[in-house]
Amino acid sequence: MKPRVVLTASTYLHKSGNSLSEIMAKASAEHQHDQSDIALQGDPYAQLNDKRLARSIAKDSAFGLVAMRRCMATVGIDYIKHFSPERRAMFVGAQVATTYGNEPYVPAILATKSENGAFDESAFSKFYTKTHPTTLLRGLPNNLLCYGSMEYDLRGANSNYTSMDTSALAALRAGVRSLRSFKSDCAVIGAYSLLSSDEPLQGFFRQIGISAQPNFISNDAVSILFLERAEEIKNDRAALCEVLAIESCSTPQQDIGQTTSQDLEGLLERSLQTAGLQAKDLELIFVSGVGIDAIDHAELTAVKNFCKKFGANPIIATLGYELGYVCEASMMAELQCFVELQSGSKLPSSFLLDKNAPLSSIPKNAAILRASLWGDAGCIIVKECRS
Amino acid sequence: MTIMRQRVAITAVGCVSPLGHTWDLTWRGICQAKVPIQKISAFDAGDTPASHAYQVSNYDTICEDLEQRGELAKQLVRAHVFAKGAAYDAYRQAGLKPGDYQRNDIAVCLGVGMTSPDFKWMTKHFIPKDFDHEDMRYHNRIIPTEVTKGVAKIFSATGGTTTVHTACASSGQSVGEAFEMIANGERQMVITGGADSMINPFYAAGFLLLGALAKNSKDPKTASRPFDLDRAGFVLGEGACILVLENMETALQRGANIVAEICGYGVTESAYRITDLHPEGQGPIQSMQGALADANMSPDEIGYINAHGTSTPINDRVEALSINRVFSTNPNTAPFVSSTKSMTGHLISAAGAIELAICAEALRQQTLPPTVNLFTKDPLCDLRFTPNEATPFKFKAALSNSVGFGGSNTSLIVKQWEGP
Which chain A residues touch B156 with a CB distance below 8 Å?
Answer: 252
Residue of B225, B215, B390, B239 lying closest to B315 (CA atoms): B225
Q: Which residues pair with B336 in a beta bridge?
A: B304, B384
First to last CA, chain A: 19
Contact yes or no for B162 and A105 at CB 8 A: no
- A 179-208 residues inside an 8 A Cβ radius of B: 180-183, 199-204, 206-208
Contact yes or no for A162 and B202 at CB 8 A: no
pLDDT on residue A32: 58
Task: Kindly tell me the number of DSSP H helices and DSSP E strands found in chain B.
Answer: 12, 15
Largest CA distance in chain A: 74
Taking the C-alpha atoms of residue A143 and residue A65, their distance in angstroms, rounded to an integer, is: 9
Minimum CA–CA partner of B183 in chain A: A181
Contact yes or no for B116 and A121 at CB 8 A: no
Residue B268, φ and ψ in degrees, nearest 5: -140, 170
Please state, in angstroms and as integers, the Cα–Cα distance from residue B187 to each residue in A165, B102, B250, B297, following that order.
Answer: 21, 10, 11, 25
Residue from the list A136, A164, A249 with its beta carbon closest to the beta carbon of B203: A136
pLDDT on residue A33: 55
The C-alpha of B108 sits at a distance from chain A's nearest C-alpha, in angstroms, of 9
Reduce the DSSP state of residue B20 to 3 states and report it.
Answer: strand
Contact yes or no for A248 and B160 at CB 8 A: yes
- Tell me the torsion sign for CA atoms B214, B216, B221, B227: negative
Does the model's pTM come out above 0.80?
yes
- A 241-270 residues inside an 8 A Cβ radius of B: 247-254, 256, 263, 266, 270
Which of A4, A5, A155 to substitute to test the interface with B, most B CBs within 10 Å? Answer: A155
Taking the C-alpha atoms of residue B283 and residue B404, their distance in angstroms, rounded to an integer, is: 11
The length of chain A is: 387
Is B109 considered catalytic here? no
Per-residue pLDDT of chain A (387 residues; tens, 9 = 90+): 789 999 999 999 998 899 999 999 988 875 555 666 677 888 899 999 988 888 889 889 999 999 999 999 999 999 999 999 999 999 999 988 666 677 888 999 999 999 999 999 999 999 999 888 888 898 899 999 999 999 999 999 999 999 999 999 999 999 999 999 999 999 999 999 999 888 999 999 999 999 999 999 999 999 999 999 999 998 888 999 999 999 999 986 655 557 889 999 999 999 999 999 999 999 999 999 999 998 999 999 999 999 999 999 999 999 999 999 999 999 999 999 999 999 999 999 999 998 877 888 999 999 999 998 887 999 999 999 986
Residue from the list B1, B140, B269 with its beta carbon closest to the beta carbon of A149: B269
pLDDT on residue B1: 59
Taking the C-alpha atoms of residue B324 and residue B334, their distance in angstroms, rounded to an integer, is: 9
pLDDT on residue A253: 63
Contact yes or no for B119 and A121 at CB 8 A: yes
**Which of the residues B168, B263, B359, B381 is marked catalytic?**
B168
Is B308 considered catalytic here? yes
Which chain A residues touch B182 with a CB distance below 8 Å?
Answer: none
Which of B162, B196, B408 to substitute to test the interface with A, most A CBs within 10 Å? Answer: B162
Contact yes or no for B136 and A90 at CB 8 A: no
Taking the C-alpha atoms of residue A362 and residue B395, their distance in angstroms, rounded to an integer, is: 60
Residue of A114, A105, A271, A162 lying closest to B202 (CA atoms): A105
Is B31 considered catalytic here? no
Residue of B211, B214, B210 lying closest to B235 (CA atoms): B214
Per-residue pLDDT of chain B (420 residues; tens, 9 = 90+): 566 899 999 999 999 999 999 999 999 999 999 999 999 999 999 889 999 999 999 999 999 999 999 999 988 999 999 999 999 999 999 999 999 999 999 999 999 998 878 899 999 999 999 999 999 998 888 899 999 999 999 999 999 999 999 999 999 999 999 999 999 999 999 999 999 999 999 999 999 999 999 998 889 999 999 999 999 999 999 999 999 999 999 999 999 999 999 999 999 999 999 999 999 999 999 999 999 999 999 999 999 999 999 999 999 999 999 999 999 999 999 999 999 999 999 999 999 999 999 999 999 999 999 999 999 999 999 999 999 999 999 999 999 999 999 999 999 999 999 888
Q: Within 10 A of A351 (CB to CB), how many other CB atoms are there? A: 26
Contact yes or no for A137 and B286 at CB 8 A: no
**Which of the residues B263, B308, B359, B381 is marked catalytic?**
B308
Contact yes or no for A248 and B3 at CB 8 A: no
| Torsion region of A346: left, alpha or beta (phi above 0 gives left; psi -120 to 50 gives alpha) | beta
User: Chain B contact for A137, CB < 8 A?
Assistant: yes
User: Chain B contact for A375, CB < 8 A?
Assistant: yes
Contact yes or no for B114 and A56 at CB 8 A: no
User: Chain B contact for A124, CB < 8 A?
Assistant: yes
User: Chain B contact for A139, CB < 8 A?
Assistant: yes
The C-alpha of A245 sits at a distance from chain B's nearest C-alpha, in angstroms, of 11
Residue from the list B1, B148, B156 with its beta carbon closest to the beta carbon of A182: B1
Taking the C-alpha atoms of residue B368 and residue B370, their distance in angstroms, rounded to an integer, is: 6
Contact yes or no for B210 and A136 at CB 8 A: yes
User: Chain B contact for A119, CB < 8 A?
Assistant: yes
Residue A211, φ and ψ in degrees, nearest 5: -60, -25
Residue of B109, B105, B103 lying closest to B87 (CA atoms): B109
Please say whether the beta carbons of B111 and B174 come within 8 A. yes
Contact yes or no for B140 and A146 at CB 8 A: no
ipTM for this prediction: 0.97
Burial category of B260 from C-beta neighbours within 10 Å (exposed 0-12, middle 13-18, buried 19 and up)? buried
Please say whether the beta carbons of A375 and A250 come within 8 A. yes
